[in-house]
Amino acid sequence: MPTNVEIKARARDPVALAARARILSDALPETLHQRDTFFGCAHGRLKLRELASGESELIWYDRPDVAWSRRSDYRVTSIADPAALRDLLGRAHGVTQVVEKTRTLCVVGQTRIHLDEVVGLGSFVELEVVLQDGQAESEGHRIAAELMVSLGIATTDLLTSAYAEMLPSGACRADG
């Protein structure tokens, strides 16, 4: 099963953070407009991610809600008809939240740096260290800690929960 080691933090100075991320990045940053629809799920979290480009994917992930680097197991599959799947999953499991964001993606080695502007919440940064087959989880934690220092991410800014759980419950829109 694919595994990340990740952190999520509030971005106190998004402009400075973006500048540091661009300097470290292996390639030009990519800007993505995403809508994540979360569904009721007995274990982990389940979301349908729709991109402005028309691409869509269903993502299941499971991770502890702790404020430090944490292991996240996940599965991703491409979706050809997101509207039909959104309707089906909404009817079967209920829509729990819709999160809209603009994400700037920078890649540093095996780490994806997400600079997120989340509608209704503000500016955030996520680090996802994509572990390679056989790579120790401790190596992912070390990489995340080193990048936190390089990017100027303070431990006091680390967050425990997903964006969907940070939004007010009334922010859920079943129609997307």
* 16 contact partners, CB below 8 Å, separation of at least 6: 152
Q: State which fold the 3-171 domain adopts.
A: Hypothetical Protein Pfu-838710-001 (2.40.320)
pLDDT for the residue numbered 176: 38
DSSP structure string for 30-51: EEEEEEEEEE--SSSEEEEEEE
Beta-bridged to residue 73, according to DSSP, are: 3, 62
d(CA 129, CA 167): 25
pLDDT for the residue numbered 170: 53
Handedness of CA 102, 34, 63, 6 (dihedral sign): negative
d(CA 139, CA 143): 6
pLDDT tens, position by position, for the chain (176 residues)?
A: 789 999 999 999 999 999 999 999 999 999 999 999 999 999 999 999 999 999 999 999 999 888 888 899 999 999 999 999 999 999 999 999 999 999 999 999 999 999 999 999 999 999 999 999 999 999 999 999 999 999 999 999 999 888 999 998 754 544 33
What count of other Cβ atoms lies within 10 Å of the Cβ of residue 133? Answer: 6
